[in-house]
Amino acid sequence: MKLITFTKKGIYCPQGKFYIDPWRPVDLAVITHGHADHARWGMKKYLCHHYTKPILYQRIGIDIECQSVEYGETLILNGVKVSLHPAGHIIGSAQIRLEYKGYVTVISGDYKIQGDGLSTPFELVKCNEFVTESTFGLPIYNWLEVPDLNKKLQTWVLKNHENSKTSVFIGYSLGKAQRIMKAVEGLGKIYVHYSIGKLNEAFESVGVDLPDYTIADFRENAKEVQHEIVIVPPALLDSNIIKKIPDAATAICSGWMQVRGARRWRSADAGFAMSDHADWKGLLQAVKATEAEIVHVTHGQTEIFSKYLNEIGIRSDVVQTQFGEDEEESEKETIENPGP
């Protein structure tokens, strides 16, 4: 049985007559999470987790038709049982479980096995067919435990305090920025770019607790952030806004910082391998635990990861999708067109 097909519009469930994270306009889109490569403008109706709904309002528009559900809640869409289960990627991220006549397919979207203390932890969902990402699908990607990584961020901030520096973190507005806030809570006043502040408000609207922060207007008075903690999106790296921040020491927070020399890729003072995606071990752990008969690899290190799965006896293929596009472009669009 085939519960999903891969079309020009996106991942389609023909029995249920809906799409998962489509990249072209459709009647019904079931959304795994709020990042722009998975949640796009133009759908007649959206279905997502409760925490993702205000993010879609913020990023796509308040006038969209959007239904939200809780994790584990089952809906019947044209005879297909549909439920959302935690993906651990960012707040509200979900794996989409489909069941029809006893056959189960899970579309995982983006996911992370590590608990970060902010997102709902990843839930293993057994299935016949599994759709996985492979953003960091190489053995070189092996994340530190979250407390150890947070300790590194904290040590860097404290060192900057000693040297009268302003700690400026660069991280995606949705997911990464909130993790950074949690990691450095209590070490100083936290200032964020307004694109981050708007998404923080979306989280807070559904009861998610975040550390105290101030939305900074860097154009008016950048001196107020001097010697404090600042978080901005990647699109602002090397921008005039960064240059206005007094005594700035900059740090990029990205999984790509795992690779030796990656810090020199950008003009930053430090780099921390913080990712909202599974590392190599996490990907393998998830795929094996699903006990799926077939695994589709949709974006990232697709050829390498799929080949390895086949070599260890897990039937796998590569599927071309539009997921995993450069999120920095999405950040740029959000900054230039902030919406309501």
Look at residue 213 and tell me whether its pLDDT is greater than 80. Answer: yes
Residue 331: per-residue pLDDT: 43
As a whole number, mean pLDDT of residues 83-89 equals 98
Identify the band that residue 17 occupies on the pLDDT scale cut at 50, 70 and 90. very high
Q: So what's the pLDDT on residue 325?
A: 63
Whether pLDDT at 273 is above 50: yes
Q: Is residue 142 pLDDT above 50, yes or no?
A: yes
Amino acid making up residue 61: G
pLDDT at 259: 81
The pLDDT of residue 221 is 73
pTM: 0.92
From CA 85, how far away is CA 283, in angstroms rounded? 17
Token pair for residue 67?
């239904």
Structure tokens at 232: 């901005």
% of the chain at pLDDT higher than 70: 93
Nearest to 178 by CA among 114, 119, 110: 119
pLDDT digits (tens, 9 = 90+) for 295-331: 999 999 999 999 999 999 999 999 999 998 645 444 4
Could you tell me which of 283, 289, 290, 291 has the C-alpha nearest to residue 308? 283
